[in-house]
Amino acid sequence: MSRTPGRLAAATAVLVVGSLVGGCAGDVEDPDPQPTSSASEPTEPSESSPSDEETAYLPVPEGVALTPPGTKLRVGDSAVVAWEPRQDLVGVLDVTVTRLVRTWFADSFEGWQLDDKTRKSTPYFVRVSITNVGETDVGGRDVPLYAVDPTDTLIQASSFQAKFEPCPGNGVFPKKFKPGDAKDLCLVYLVPDGGRLTAVSFRPVQEFDPITWTGPMEKLAEKKKR
């Protein structure tokens, strides 16, 4: 299921609302779950443990180990992921989700003309650090990360056709993002119908068992109503 992105004009700026990608995002936890522990002792890897080559779902440079699909991470943890922006291009990134922030339209979208449907959504900022650990330039590509709501729906990041000061970066790589380049970005997610963000998910294709991040949710101070 998807919906057509809406375009919301504010002066000369345009916000392109991220679309709903679909359900079945995988099992995710609440934004700030309690850590769990296991009573069993750690075991040494057996000879039958899969090698890096066996767990690599896409070709990556020698010495780069991809984070296994289905891995559940905390805010502050990093993952090495790969995806295909197009058939002849494989991007490989070291991704760290560093902050989850709940905000309000009155605080962060002042001056923007938003329709009623958009105002019923819940805005979030997700800050990430990325490093290109592959062998290709992935400049100008969308960051392949989604928000997940309590119904396990994947929500694309919204984009801006103008500078958005409250959350700089607009969720898109710079025009040039060569191997070794690093960047801090801020992604804007509008969770529909007053929903909440429960996780951030890397899921390049439907069949991929998502890699997810959960953790504490920060809150920007909501402006008091006059």
**Model confidence over 79-125: pLDDT tens digits?**
999 999 888 899 999 999 999 999 999 999 988 888 898 899 999 99
Residue 35 clears pLDDT 90, i.e. is over it: no
- The structure's pTM equals 0.77
Mean pLDDT of 137-157: 93
CATH of 7-32+58-217, one of 2.40.10.10, 3.20.10.10, 2.60.40.1240, 2.40.160.210: 2.60.40.1240
Query: Would you list the DSSP string of 165-203?
Result: TTSTTTTB--S---TT-EEEEEEEEEEGGG----EEEE-
What local confidence, expressed as pLDDT, does residue 187 receive?
94
Q: What is the pLDDT of residues 173-191, one digit of tens each?
A: 888 999 999 999 999 999 9
SS3 state at 149: coil
What local confidence, expressed as pLDDT, does residue 45 receive?
40
Calpha distance 216→68 (Å, rounded) = 23
Buried b (16+ CB within 10 A) or exposed e, 177-186: beeebeeebb
User: How far is CA 7 from each of CA 103, 110, 177, rounded to the nearest angstrom?
Assistant: 20, 17, 27
Residue 29 clears pLDDT 80, i.e. is over it: no
Calpha distance 114→105 (Å, rounded) = 9
CB 211 within 8 A of CB 95: no
Domain spans of the chain?
Answer: 7-32+58-217
Give the lowest-confidence range in 28-37, 97-106, 128-137.
Answer: 28-37
What local confidence, expressed as pLDDT, does residue 132 receive?
97
| Mean pLDDT over each residue of the chain, to the nearest integer | 79
Calpha distance 129→149 (Å, rounded) = 22
Calpha distance 68→65 (Å, rounded) = 9
What local confidence, expressed as pLDDT, does residue 135 receive?
96
What local confidence, expressed as pLDDT, does residue 114 receive?
87
